[in-house]
Every structure is written in structure tokens, then in C-alpha cells.
Structure 1
Amino acid sequence: MTPEQLAEKILQALAALADDGTITVEGGLPRELKVERPKNPEHGDYATNVAMQLGKRAGLNPRQFAELLAVKLRDDEAITAVEIAGPGFINLRVAADAQGKVAQSILAAGVAYGTSDSLHGRTINLEFISANPTGPLHLGHTRWAAVGDALARVLTAAGASVKREFYINDRGNQMDKFGASLRAAAHGQPIPEDGYHGEYILDLAKRIVAEVPGITELPADEQPVAFREAGYERQLKEQQDQLEHFRTKFDVWFSERSLHEQDGVPHAIQKLREQGHLYDADDALWMRTTDFSDDKDRVLIRTNGEPTYFASDAAYYVNKRERGFETCIYLLGADHHGYVNRLKAIAACAGDDPEHNIEILIGQLVKILKGGQEMRLSKRAGTIVTLAELVEEGGVDALRYTLCRYPADSPLTLDIEEMTKQASENPVFYVQYAHARLASILRNADDLGIKLDEFDPGLLDHEREGDLLRALAEFPRVVATAAELREPHRIARYLEDTASAFHKFYDSCRVLPRGDEEVEPVHKARLTLVSATRTVLANGLDLLGVSAPERM
């Protein structure tokens, strides 16, 4: 029995009490409620505080209310015990056969187990990397590539319609400096002091000269633009290939240039002007963002007639909303705290609800240790730690899992040696090893000719079997909560707890017959539990973009 199924039984019992006049709850009965697993297993399998929530509204003290509800719940064969504790908590124990059916439902659902419709109907634009196409993706991008992609998977599992978006910062002075740097490198000249000095610039310049015949023979004033565009195309392709290898896919690669080339900025300004939050002052056009908690008003059009970066931000938000997205989620780096209020102010100035239509998640810095020393990054100095280098050092699985395992808003220090260690204290190895062990058990069962068919769920009555079943039953709720709170790290922590529950079960309960022993019904029941556990671990790892190995 899943927590949701038990909650439904409690709601039905409340409805029965209301129908026969035993209770009358002011404001009516709730349409849904949650049951929780108590921290102390001795208190029961599940607990609810519904009596404390509704007692006063029914004119009863919570314990009186709980007693009335307990009488109804004790009539249900799936519930073996109902105890009232403290001021009105209700602790419940579930019958083994009812709990054992969780394994059955997991196998029936397969890859769909854990999904829900909790966010059904929500259309979400998730922008989780914004980068210049002027160099390799670095460590900060790598964290968002892992976390953002995992968040997209979790939101989709909760029923939302999600579009993953990469914002290409392909406009502005940095692009011109990129072109000038490539041209200088191609001619063997000193790179401008404020240009790009990384090793990759020399390599990219050589490649462009080889692949674009005659580029160095163009008129001097045309070469910087030609090198800029050739470098842009190749650098963006490299970023796309690296992200593909990192199992991070984007539905949309949105060009900042396109906002300006397709009159997106004037269109957005007109729309914002209609909302009444723009004004002219000092020969510039301003947005009155201070009306919505920003620390100062923002300039949209400078005195020279040029749009600001803020104008691009505003036009980009309007563009997203006009593409039909109800909620726009931005994942930004630690140096973007100042963007939170201004982006919310844009939404408000556009006539939207800044608490509903826009969300900004700020990620903190990541440090990488190798050999006890920090690997430092500095894009223009050429000592950048790139996504490709990190994958080479740690591997896709270890890097993705470790980056997803922690709340994105907390600073993170990763040790390459610890992250890649094949030992139980390494979380990714621990979870993947559990999956491989489950797969091995099922292969051995197949070799013995044991088929997974009908089983008696009531045979799964060992304490460790119950613990594992209750852990598996929590998975859909964990996924829904991770989606609601935008916290994919909850999936990783759940997987570790479930892997632990499996290892304890396996140490206490013999799954396969030994030697010449006959295959007993309990073996089939436990194999069904093993198969269900494997499904859950595989589904959870997939939500993090991490592989579920068959062998290790």
C-alpha cells in the first residue's frame, strides 16, 4: 500500500463519519491529506496528524476526533493496528499483504513508476545555461548542466510540459573581442590585452584558417567579423557536442542576436509601455522597476539610442511568455543575485504575477580538488577548468550524480579522488552497485529457471521486507516533492536510503534457494521485491541522467 492509497482510505473513513452524522467539520472535509513515515519505526508504518488539523473545526479535542476515526480505520482489513499518541497523532500499521502489493504495482508500472500528474497542465520554460560562444563551457556551466537537466527530468515526471533552453550570449563587445583575438592568433600577432588568451584560441584560429580558405586574405577591416562568425559557429558546435556527451539536451538554443534582428526589443518595449511602467528621462528610456521591489529603475534605451543588456533581458522574458510558457524558470550563477529582483520586476511590469510566472534559482560556486589542490579557472588567462576536462577526470556518471546530490544553492567542494572511488562510502558507487547487485540476483534466478509470475504479497512480512517496501512506496511522493520544490537532490538522497534498505533486506532475507532446495513461494515473493527495487533504482538514476549498470 502506498502512502497515497492509505491517505485515500483515511479520507474515505472521514467521509463515512460525516455521512452518518458522527462528525461535522466546519468548512468541510479536506480533499487530500498526507501520511508520513514516522522517524521511529516502533511507532508504526505510517502516521497522520489529521485529527489535530480537524478536531477543533469539528468541536472536539484532537484525541476525541482521533478515537472516532480510529474506530473506522480498524474495520479495514488492510490496516492491522491503529494507535493514538500524544495530543492526537494517529499511528497506523499496514497488513503485509497490502504492503506487499506495492511490489506488484511497481512492476506493472515499470519505467512509469514514480511519475505523477501533480504538475499536469503546467507549461515551463527552463533556462539553465546562459553562455558566450567564445570559449569552452566551464565548471559553473557544468553544475547547471547536471542540475538543470535533472530538474527538467523531474518536472516532466511530475506531469509538466517542459522546454529546456540554452541562452546564447552572442551579441555585444565580447563577440568582437573574440573575433579580434582569433584574427590576431591566425596572423601570429599579439592578442589584444582585453581579448581571449586561452590555449583554445590558438587551436581554434588554426582550425579556422584550415577550414575557411582565404579568410586571412580578406580586407583587414572584414577579417575580425569573418573570424568572429567562423569562431562562433565552431565554438557553439563544440559546446553542443560536449553537452550531448554529458547527457544534457536542450530543446531550444536561443540566440540573443535574434531578439534584436527580429525586432524583439522594440516589440517588448511597446508591450511594456502599454502596461504603463516606462518613462523617458535624461534622453533615455527607463523602466520603473522600483514599483516592484527593485533597488533602482533600469535603463532600456541609452541616450545614444542603443538598447541595454537589461532591454535584452526584458525582451527575452516577453518572448518566452508569448511562446506560451506559463512559468519561466531561470537557473543563474552565484554572481547573479542582483538579477532576482530586476527579473521579477520585468515580469510585474509586463503585467504578470512575479510569484507565479517567473522563478529564479541561484546556484553557488563549486570548487574542484585534485591531489588535495584546487583546480582553478580563469577563462581569459587560459587556465579554465572545462566541462570536457571534468568529464575526463571524473566520468559522466560520477560527475552528474555528485553535482545533483547537493542543493544547488549551497557552495560545493568536490574531490576528484573521492568522487571516482569505487567504495561504499562513495554515494554514486553505492547506488549503482546496489542496482548491479539486484540485476545479478535476477540473472541468477533466471539461470535457475525461476520465473517471476504470481506471488503471495502476504509472504513479505519480515521487518526488513517491510522497510524496503515502504521505501519503494515513497518514490512517487519524493519525485513530486522534488519537482514542486525544484530540488532534484532529493532524488539522490532517496536513492541512497533505498539502496541501504535493500542491502539490509538482502543481508537478512535469503532470496534464492541454496543447493538442492526447492523453490518456495517466499523465494518468488522476494524475487518480485528484488525486481521492483531494481526498477525504482533505475528510474531514480535516470531522473539524474545517471546510468544504471547491470554489472560492476
Structure 2
Amino acid sequence: MQVLTARGLDDSVLPEKVTIERPRNPEHGDYATNLALQVAKKAGMKPRDFADALAEALSATDGIDSAEVAGPGFLNLRLAADAQGQIVQQVLDAGEKYGLGDALAGVKINLEFVSANPTGPIHLGGTRWAAVGDALGRVLSAQGGLVTREYYFNDHGAQIDRFVRSLIAAAKGEPAPEDGYAGGYINDIAAEVIRQEPSALSLPDDERAETFRRVGIELMFTEIKQSLHDFGTDFDVYFHENSLHESGAVATSVQQLKDSGNLYFEDGAWWLKSKEHGDDKDRVVIKKDGNPAYIAGDLAYFQDKRKRGFDLCIYMLGADHHGYIARLKAAAAAFGDDPAVVEVLIGQMVNLVSEGKPVRMSKRAGTVITMEDLVGTVGVDAARYELIRYSVDSTLDIDLDLLRKHSNDNPVYYVQYAHARLASLQRNASDLGLKSDGEVDFGLLTLPAEGDLIRTIGEFPTVLRRAAQLREPHRVARYLEELAGAYHKFYTVGRVLPQGDEEATPLTFARLALCQAARQVLANGLNVLGVSAPERM
């Protein structure tokens, strides 16, 4: 910067990256930075004096309307209208690709989510992960990540045995076992097993159990897959836990840890030295009866993911799985891997509320509210959006009455309506034959509401990047609500189309371009969430 040089300074005092943010108070400018407070000492100046030098330099820069110093050395910037307008042109040029980045370019990511036991329909917790997990996959992909969505099919262990016993009891017309599963879906599946295998109940005990296991699990899992698909969530890989045991992968992983000294024998069982790697205690891998504990499958599964070439393994688990964070990272370390390749996200519970009261349990599932219950009440878009728009760290109470409303109080309606209103505007413009034949003069967009809308549009790439970095797709939903709000405010003060015998003006085309850009970003953002962008509402 010439002014800095004139004062005996050079660009070496500036950091590689300068943080510039939009101030909450518009009176503080379009953008603000605390750069002077960061580097003034290095430059041998007082922060305010350094800020004065920066303000002088920036004020002489094309595209900067003003640069003002505030407080001890904050710098408030206002952009020239035509410079701001270039953001609009960037959106129009990029179209559906606007907002995409390369922060995760080439990184192979295994994203495991839902992974509900195939012993019943997907409950609300799994539904939350279906929405958030799919949105996170889209966010990571938007930053160049090579994402594989994976469902870990828990088809091995005691819960499957209880499921099979419950089906057999239902087929016999008997009550569910004390530790079994109940609900209308058990009766439905049991009846279908008998329809497919009419002689199942007359088979010897072992064969009967195997028949109900094979057919019943397939029926349940087919239903789960269909429910997820109808919810807009599909997986690239369905990984069967049982395959790890049948293939010998579990035994191989256990032996490898024995050989490396990461397993030790005590009290008749084999233990993983997980405490040495940050866990709160060592974990039993092979139980006293010689059977593998659940973590044995986790060990083999992690190795399988790494052998498939994944650089990052993200596990999305329920609220009762906090212990898995240290456990899975310890497993990685025990294999000599970097624990950082394992990330565990924990989601909290979801409750449904109607008329201020908790909603009763599902009749079909018997004990839980299911994905179908929620979707059947409010629809896919409202369900997905509401589940995504909150941080998974927080327990979520879903107000069904609110999500049924077609009003601005309903967040998904508020965002979708903004898109539909913009789509209607473009149709009307087309009907009027309005199409710009030359360059658009963005310098005409001088209203505060226009500037606010443009700057909000310009934040989308940063929002996507931060959402991917922090694994927080809810940031995209909240941003879309802010963008919809900025558009609705603009709509009230900035008339776009000519009325009556009025002729279109350069301002008409500048505002049409702005509206087209706003619509594009709303559509791009909704697509990232797996929510539709309706043309009409």
C-alpha cells in the first residue's frame, strides 16, 4: 500500500489473511475489521494511528466508498454501489455452482449416519440424523469432499435375537417376549414371513429361527430403506456388521492388537488398552465366554474403512453414545493411526409437541414416534428443514402446529415463499418481455435494503465453508432465513417491475438482476439442505 510505504511501513506487517466481518449495526459500515489492533504493535505504531494509515490507503482504492476509524482502532468500510453489485454478477455467472469451494478438495470422507438397528421403524432420533447427515454430506461435497454416505447395518448380536423371538411369538399369536419388541409392525412382518414361508412355524427350532431371521430382517430393512428414500436420504453403502464376523475381519483385527501389545488378558477376558489413548477406562474386546464384545466389531469396521481409502471417518451417533468418542479415537490410536481421522458427532433427543403438549407414541411402532409419523403430519420439506436448522448439540422440541402453518412464523415456509415470490417476479418480467441487452448498471442499487441484500447474498460461500469446517449444516438454514428476510425487506421498498404504461429503466434491469441472484442463492441453499425450492406456493 502506497500510504503505508510513505509512512515508513511495508506490507510485511500485514497477516496472510485479514478477517473482515459484517457489523451487526449497519451504521458501522458495510464491513469492519480489527486489523489495526492485531498488527499495530508489530508495526511500532499505536492502533488508531495504524488504522488511520489503513483508512487513508483504502479510501483511495477503487470500489471503496469510505473507510472510517472507530474506537481504539476498528476500521469501518463502505463499498461503492457498483463494486457491491459485482457480487450479483458473480452469482449470475456461477449459477448453481455459486457458493461452492475447494476447502476439502480430494479428501475421501466416510460419513456414517442413522445406522438404526433393523428391529423396528426409524424413530425420531434416527430421523434427525437422516436429515442432518444427508445435509452434512451435501455441505462437505460442496467444499470438494469425496463423500460416501454409509449405513452400518447392525445385523449381529442380541438385539437381532430378540427381534426374531418377537416375530415368532407374533406368528404364533403369543405375547411379545419380556425383552422383545412390540407394536403393529411386528405383527405385519410376522404375517409376511408366514406368507413367504408358509411352513416356517413347523420347522425345527434352529431352522425356524433362521427363517424368521433371514426373511424378517430383510423385510424390516427394506422398509427402512424405503422410508429413508421417501425422506430424501439415500446411501452409497449399506454395510452389514455380520459380514465382519463371517469374513474373519473381527478375528484378524483382534489378533493384530494382541500381536502389537494393545490387548491384554485379565480376569478371563481380553482388554483393549484404550485408557492409554485417552479413554476413561480400558474396554473388554473378547468376553470371558470367548465371544466378541460389541467394540470388537467397531475395531474391525474402522480398519475396513481405512483399507477402503477414507481419509476421514465421521460417525454420527445418538445421545447415549458419548462414550464412543474416546473409544473410537482410542481404537484408531491402537492401530497406530492418527485419532484425528475419527470424528464423532453426538445428536440429542427430539420431542414432538402439539397444542403445548407432548405428542403420544406411535400406535404402529408401539414404543416410539417414527419417521412416518412426523412426515405424515407436516411433510418431508418441513420435517427435514426443522430437524436441520438447530445444532444437534441441543434437544429439539418440534411444534407440529407451527410447521403446519402457511405463514412467516413457519421457518421453512418463510424461506420457500421468498423463492416462490422471486420465481413469480421472473415469470412476470418474462411476460413483459423484459430482458437486458447490455451491461447492467449495478451502481444504481443505492438503497440501504439493496445493499443489505447484496451483502447477504455475498456471504453464502463463507457460510458454506464454515458449515463444512464445523460440521454444522444448521448454519445454512439460519443463513437462508436471513437472506429471505433481507429480500422481503427489499421487496417492500424497491419496486422492480414497471407499472401501467411505464417504460423499463436501467434501474429496472439492475433490480431484476439482483432478484435473480437472490433466487439463485435461495435455490442453491435449499438444495444443500435437501429441501425443495418451489416455483409456486
1:156 aligns with 2:141: yes
* Selected match of 1:375 from 359, 369, 374: 359
- The C-alpha deviation readout for 1:479-536, integer Å capped at 9, x for no partner, is 1111111111111111111111101111101100000100111101100000000000
Q: What secondary structure does 2:115 align onto? A: strand
- Contact in 2 for aligned 1:153/1:543 (Cα 8 Å): yes
Aligned to 1:80: 65
2:421 aligned partner, one-letter code: R
Q: For residues 206-217 of structure 1, what are the structure 2 equivalents within 5 Å?
A: 206-217=191-202
Write the mapping of 1:264-283 to structure 2, written as runs, cut at 5 A: 264-273=249-258, 275-283=260-268
Rate the CA distance shift 1:274–1:138 in 2: closer, same or farther, 3 A.
same
Residue 305 (structure 2) aligns with: 320
State yes or no: 1:503 paired with 2:483: no
Superposed CA deviations along residues 319-345 of structure 1, whole A, max 9, x for unmatched, are 212221122111111111222222222
Aligned to 2:413: 429
Match of 1:517 in 2: 502
Contact 2:4-2:54 within 8 A present in 1 as well:
no
Moved over 4 A (4+): 16-21, 376-381
Is residue 413 from structure 1 mapped to residue 397 from structure 2 by the alignment?
A: yes
Distance (Å, rounded) in 2 between the aligned partners of 1:158 and 1:85: 36
**Selected match of 2:368 from 381, 384, 387:** 384
Report matched runs for 1:179-194 at 5 Å: 179-194=164-179
1:246 partnered with 2:235 = no
Could you give the per-residue CA deviations for residues 385-415 of structure 1, whole angstroms, max 9, x where no partner exists? Answer: 1111211011000000111111111011111
Q: Which deviations, in whole Å up to 9, do the C-alpha atoms of 1:201-240 show, x marking residues without a partner?
A: 1111111222234333433431111011101111111111
The residue identity in structure 2 corresponding to 1:190 is P
Give 1:467 deviation, angstroms: 0.5
Structure 2 match to 1:7: none
Q: Give the 3 Å change call, closer, same or farther, for CA 381–241 of structure 1 in structure 2.
A: closer
- The 3-state SS of whatever aligns with 1:120 is coil
CA–CA distance in 2 between the matches of 1:92 and 1:331? 41
| TM-score, scaled to structure 1 | 0.93
Confirm or deny: 8 A CA contact 2:498 2:508 kept in the other structure: yes
Offset of residue 266 of structure 1: 2.2
- Correspondence 1:347 to 2:332: yes
Output the amino acid matched with 1:390: L
CA RMSD of aligned residues (A): 2.0
Equivalence map 1:23-172=2 (5 Å): 23=9, 29-172=14-157
Q: Secondary structure at the match of 2:206?
A: coil
Counterpart of 2:529 in structure 1 is: 544
Structure 2 counterpart of 1:23, one-letter code: L
Distance 1:215 1:493, change over 3 A: same
Consecutive unaligned residues in structure 2, runs of 5 or more: none
- Residue aligning to 2:8: 22
Q: Which residue, out of 201, 219, 223, partners 1:234?
A: 219
- Paired with 1:380 and 1:426, the residues of 2 have a C-alpha distance of 28
1:188 is displaced (CA, Å) by 2.3
- 1:111 partner SS: helix
- Residue 454 of structure 2 corresponds to residue 469 of structure 1: yes
CA distance in 2, matches of 1:414, 1:534: 28
Deviation at 1:54, TM superposition (A): 1.5
Which residue number corresponds to residue 307 of structure 1? 292
Change (3 A) 1:460 1:274: farther
Shift of 1:85: 1.3
Q: CA deviation at 1:362?
A: 1.1
Contact (CA 8 Å) 1:180, 1:228: kept in 2 or not?
A: no
In the TM superposition, what whole-angstrom CA distance separates every residue of 1:411-438 from its partner, at most 9, and x where no partner exists? 1111111112111111111111111000
Q: Aligned partners of 1:378 and 1:333: how far apart in 2?
A: 20
Distance in 1, matches of 2:216 and 2:161, equals: 11
The 8 Å contact of residues 294 and 341 in structure 1, kept in 2 or not, is answered as: yes
Q: How far, CA to CA, are the matches of 1:262 and 1:32 in structure 2?
A: 50
The percentage of aligned residue pairs carrying the same residue is 55
Residues in 1 aligned to 2:254 and 2:486: alpha-carbon distance in whole angstroms: 57
Stretch deviating more after TM superposition (312-321 or 375-384):
375-384
Contact 1:146–1:403 (CA under 8 A) maintained in structure 2: yes
**Residue segments in structure 1 that go unaligned for 5+ positions in a row:** 1-12
The one-letter code of the counterpart of 1:81 is S
Q: Aligned with 1:272: secondary structure?
A: helix
Q: Which residue of 2 aligns with 1:444?
A: 428
Aligned length: 536
**1:4 is matched with which residue?**
none
